[in-house]
Amino acid sequence: MTIHKEGTASLFITFGVLFVFNLALSRLISDQVLIRQGFVVVSVILFLVVLQFFRNPKINLTKDPTLVIAPADGKVVVIEETVEDEYLKEKRIQVSIFMSPINVHINRNPVAGIISYFKYHPGKYLVAWHPKSSTENERTTVVYKLSSGVEILIRQVAGAMARRICWYIKPSQKVEQGSEFGFIKFGSRVDLYLPLGTEILVDKEQKTKGGVTPIARLKA
């Protein structure tokens, strides 16, 4: 288990604020030992809570060109047909994974291919399960073009707590299945838009593990 690079600044700031707070408190109530010790315990717990947001566990990646692998840890909250109208302009099967604050927040490429489209959209911070969060929240849209010519679209969607989406990809870049493509701080949601006829291998409410859980099997 290591700490993800996106956590460096947040952890440093959190530690600094808690340290200064406890230092000031120790001077203000130097005679109240139990109260000071209580705040130290609370501060340690708060720091550990922030620390777990940025954990980066080692995993055995699933790699299979016929499969779409989960891009994130979380729970499947949507499996339905919908129209993707930003780039694909056609009906697709949408599979959405909700990332809670206790999940690992790393996002991984669900397939191998070329990034044929990327766009960042600033926006609102509605709760991640809100019906309009996919179109109104802060988000990114990423499209992978497979060797077969099929395109898979994925969308990082910020939630009510998330205030920063990170990405490490760019158009025309070749990517490997399972490698990191982004990070969403403090939880949110990831949407996949798959071709009609794709065999879905998960059920609603099923938990997923990014880079490991097969989400769907592509048509040959």
Distance CA 99, CA 128 (A): 9
Active site residue 188: yes
Residue 174 half-sphere exposure, CB side, CA atoms within 13 Å?
Answer: 1
Of the residues 43, 96, 134, 188, which is catalytic?
A: 188
- Taken in order 156, 161, 163, 168, the sign of the CA dihedral is negative
* Joined tokens for residue 89: 């302009």
215: helix, coil or strand? strand
Distance CA 90, CA 147 (A): 20
* Joined tokens for residue 159: 């939630």
* Joined tokens for residue 19: 């340290």
Strand order in the sheet with 199-200: 67-69, 214-217, 199-200
Q: So which residues are the catalytic ones?
A: 188
